[in-house]
Amino acid sequence: MDSVDLGVLRRARDWLREGHAVVLYTVLETWGSAPRPVGALLALRDDGRVEGSVSGGCVEDDLLARRKAVADRGAACELITYGVSKEESARFGLPCGGTLRLLEEPLTDVGWLDELLQRCADHERLLRCLDLSSGVVTLLPAGRNETLRFDGATLRAPFGPTWRLLMIGAGQLSRYTAELASGLGFEVLICDPREGYGHDWGDTAVRFVAGMPDDAVLAIEPDAHTAIVALTHDPRLDDMALLTALQSDAFYVGALGSRVNSEKRKSRLLSLGLSEGDVNRLHGPIGLPIGSRTPAEIALSLMAQVVAIKNGAARERVATERRCA
């Protein structure tokens, strides 16, 4: 679940506490091109304030116009479909052929919002089960591969971190990277056994993993939704993590360093017993080539590469280059 959408729920919760009527809209299905993905949320307050989005803007304008009708209807949920015809797609600013199906859900209970937000903050992954006929919400544990499902009577929507980033090192670069990764919906984990580095993180949404780097990698049980990057620039720490990470199911493994140092690192890893196939999985230098120099730019470059690989864009680019060769 996008962290932006958790922000929508947080704002909706606050509005309810202030005594406002709030309606939550969830993107259930899309056909053709669509501005926002399935599961995207929008909260609409009774005075017209909006948090989140479900389209490029014109659908939001129509939802604003529906406010009185929703208030008159009461607490019942309703399904809304936009863009059935070409004219309607044009009217609501949807891409050519785009169709959007929304669930309109008047909110009345702050309890499940409080619980969901707190448990997500505690790094849990939950399934919000909404019974449309009664409006009752039940929260259940969710697997990492859970996706939004709607059978016409019950909505099952996952919340909480799906993708994870483990950083070895808690230096300045890690701080910029953590901020970007959290905003992109990653659960951010950090391991740094060095004294003096695990301090002053304040309320940053990160979780420190105790132990040496190789133990930390094993402890989080990396899967295909996990990225691991070594950022200490100290081979004694970085190489320990990489030895374990490159034999795991992590979809991305990278290490900070120049091209020369990256080649030396690969040679060391081969000499330590890793196969050539495992070593070739290592991204180094890390990041997309954007001419980055500062820690903030390097963090942007790194997360751009991680997201490109997560979304399959990097593989698509390689395939295109091979076809054009």
Q: What is the CATH number of the domain that holds 276?
A: 3.40.50.720
The number of domains in the chain is: 2
Domain contains 319 = no
- Same domain assignment for residues 174 and 206: yes
- Same domain assignment for residues 119 and 168: no
Beta bridge partners of 280: none
Domain contains 19 = yes
- Same domain assignment for residues 19 and 114: yes
Residue 59 or residue 25, greater confidence: 25
Q: Which of 114, 141, 159 marks a domain boundary? A: 159
Domain contains 322 = no
- Same domain assignment for residues 152 and 240: no
C-alpha–C-alpha distance, residues 70 and 297, integer Å: 46
- Same domain assignment for residues 210 and 123: no
- Same domain assignment for residues 192 and 168: yes
Buried b (16+ CB within 10 A) or exposed e, 257-283: beeeebeebbeebeeeebeeebbebbb
Domain contains 81 = yes
- Same domain assignment for residues 214 and 123: no
Q: Which of 159, 194, 221 marks a domain boundary? A: 159
pLDDT tens digits, 34-93: 667 899 999 999 999 999 988 766 788 888 888 877 777 777 899 998 875 555 555 555
Q: Give the structural domain span for 93.
A: 3-159
- Same domain assignment for residues 126 and 39: yes
pLDDT tens digits, 144-187: 778 999 999 999 999 987 789 999 999 999 999 999 998 888 98
Domain contains 324 = no
C-alpha–C-alpha distance, residues 61 and 48, integer Å: 10
- Same domain assignment for residues 124 and 203: no
Domain contains 323 = no
- Same domain assignment for residues 178 and 269: yes
Residue with tokens 């949404």: 205
pLDDT tens digits, 196-205: 887 778 666 7
- Same domain assignment for residues 137 and 8: yes
pTM: 0.69
Domain contains 318 = no
135: left (phi over 0), alpha (psi -120 to 50) or beta: left
Q: Which of 127, 159, 191 marks a domain boundary? A: 159
- Same domain assignment for residues 130 and 236: no
What is the residue-averaged pLDDT of the chain? 87
Domain contains 131 = yes
